[in-house]
């Protein structure tokens, strides 16, 4: 049975901390390097429900994609939910390790898993890491859809390939347009629209698209947009990471059991369809000179 330090070394061979962005917080959050590890749980978010699952299963280590303390802290007191997570982990003898943007940039990494989940053959990174001589590492991925599909059919394939969330998949573009070349980015991707346009793709699959960047992107180029839940676009990486650690365990002869959390930790829990449509504008013969009536004006928010 390996020590925690052995397992962390194996994880950092897969996802070296030096590949992380300078602002990121990756690596071991809590845990005794000399403690033995037999069970490892992989999850997207280090939240209480995931910790409860780890305790119930008897995990020795939880590996999450998202950091617990991204912006740092001066206290881990159990007076807040993050402190309670730390206390619960330590009390149960469970370590916590984070692989975030270092897993995003890896080859294979988060966006490779996303591309595979939605049916793409990966060609290379959307934004290549200049320190990688092979040109394989970097942010996002560009892939091809074989055979090409209409946007409506591809959107259905994306929705079927990702774990279900309340929001589903939002789509912008001509439903009948043929989609062949696709960019993907697991997690928040609306800061990469310039690179997406430069890549000459037909569609872009990502998460957390805000109104103004998405609207401007749609006006700037005819690239279809497919916006899924942040959690859903990163969840496929858990299987990739678990397989990578499993291969390391086989190499070293470790008795190590891995498990992927299927808890949906996306914060949105319901979706209410909006049925109201804007009122038809008033004509000159229907009292337009009197201005809009109160029932014709949507309430200010």
Residue ranges of domains in the chain: 4-102+235-260, 105-228
Cα(261)–Cα(278) distance, integer angstroms: 42
Integer Cα distance of 279 and 291 in angstroms: 13
Segment 289-293 mean pLDDT = 50
pLDDT tens for 59-100 read 999 999 999 999 889 899 999 999 999 999 999 999 999 999
> What gap in Å lies between CA 105 and CA 176, rounded to an integer?
33
CATH class name, domain 105-228:
alpha beta
Confidence of residue 237 (pLDDT cuts 50, 70, 90): very high
Asked if the domains at 4-102+235-260 and 105-228 fall in one CATH topology, the answer is: yes
Are 187 and 208 contacting, i.e. CB atoms less than 8 angstroms apart?
yes
**What is the torsional sign of CA 151, 157, 160, 162?**
negative
The region of weakest confidence among 174-183, 198-207, 274-283 is 274-283
The first and second tokens of residue 146, run together, are: 């074989």
DSSP per-residue string spanning 6-28:
HHHHHHHHHS-GGGS-TT---EE
CATH number of 4-102+235-260: 3.40.1390.30
Alpha helix positions (H), the chain: 4-14, 48-57, 81-92, 101-104, 110-117, 151-161, 193-198, 211-220, 230-234, 236-252
Distance CA 164, CA 262 (A): 11
Predicted local distance difference test score (pLDDT) of residue 276: 86
Note the pTM of the prediction, 2 decimals. 0.91
Distance CA 221, CA 176 (A): 17
Of 87-96, 162-171, 250-259, 276-285, where does mean pLDDT reach its minimum? 276-285
Nearest to 117 by CA among 97, 141, 151: 141
State mean pLDDT over 173-186: 98
């Amino acid at each position: 049975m390996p020590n925690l330090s052995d397992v962390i070394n194996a994880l950092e061979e897969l996802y070296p901390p030096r590949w992380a962005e300078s602002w990121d917080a990756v690596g071991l959050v809590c845990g005794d390097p000399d403690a033995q590890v037999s069970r490892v749980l992989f999850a997207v978010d280090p939240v209480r429900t995931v910790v409860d699952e780890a305790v119930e299963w008897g995990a020795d280590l939880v590996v999450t994609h998202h950091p617990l303390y991204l912006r740092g802290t001066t206290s881990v007191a159990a007076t807040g939910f993050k402190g309670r997570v730390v206390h619960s982990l330590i009390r149960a003898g469970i370590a916590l390790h984070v692989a975030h943007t270092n897993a995003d940039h890896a080859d294979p990494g988060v966006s490779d898993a996303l591309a595979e989940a939605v049916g793409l053959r990966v060609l290379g990174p959307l934004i290549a890491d200049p320190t990688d001589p092979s040109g394989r590492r970097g942010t996002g991925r560009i892939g091809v859809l074989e055979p090409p599909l209409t946007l409506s059919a591809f959107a259905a394939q994306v929705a079927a390939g990702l774990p279900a969330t309340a929001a589903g998949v939002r789509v912008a573009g001509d439903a009948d347009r043929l989609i062949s070349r696709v960019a993907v980015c697991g997690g928040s991707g609306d800061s990469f629209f310039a690179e997406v346009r430069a890549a000459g793709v037909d569609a872009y699959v990502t998460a957390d698209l805000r109104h103004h960047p998405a609207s401007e992107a749609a006006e700037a180029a005819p690239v279809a947009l497919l916006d899924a839940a942040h959690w859903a676009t990163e969840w496929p990486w858990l299987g990739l990471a678990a397989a990578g650690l499993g291969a390391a365990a086989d190499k070293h002869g470790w008795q190590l059991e891995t498990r992927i959390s299927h808890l949906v930790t996306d914060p949105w829990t319901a979706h209410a369809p909006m049925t109201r449509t804007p009122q038809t504008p008033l004509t000159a013969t229907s009292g337009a000179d009197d201005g809009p009536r109160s029932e014709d004006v949507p309430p200010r928010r």
